């Protein structure tokens, strides 16, 4: 149940993507690439209300949450 966004310092994520690309490695997400590059990844608590709005139904849900 990982949520977005995933945040990293630019230099860390750039290096992780460059290394993965050079090796032909396809990770599942940015965190996997950063871990592969030798960095620790921290997990922070999120909320089920942190939704991604990609469909009209998502917008309706967001409007519902905002109405509370």
- pLDDT over threshold 80, residue 4: no
Is position 2 within any domain? no
Are 15 and 21 spatial neighbours (Cβ–Cβ below 8 Å)? no
Higher pLDDT, 48 or 41: 41
- pLDDT over threshold 70, residue 1: no
Number of domains in the chain: 1
Is position 5 within any domain? no
Is position 55 within any domain? yes
| CA triple 41-32-9, angle to 5 deg | 50
| Band of pLDDT at residue 49, cut at 50, 70 and 90 | confident
Q: What range defines the domain where residue 49 resides? A: 10-67
User: Residue 39 burial (CB < 10 Å; 0-12/13-18/19+)?
Assistant: middle
Interval 23-41: pLDDT, tens: 999 999 999 999 999 999 9
| Band of pLDDT at residue 6, cut at 50, 70 and 90 | confident
Is position 1 within any domain? no
Is position 3 within any domain? no
């Amino acid at each position: 149940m990982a949520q977005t966004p995933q945040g990293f310092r630019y230099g860390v994520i750039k290096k992780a993507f460059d290394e993965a690309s050079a090796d032909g490695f396809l990770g599942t997400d940015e965190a996997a690439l950063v871990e592969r590059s030798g960095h620790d990844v921290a997990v922070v608590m999120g909320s089920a209300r942190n939704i991604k709005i990609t469909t009209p139904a998502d917008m309706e849900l967001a409007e519902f949450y905002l109405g509370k």
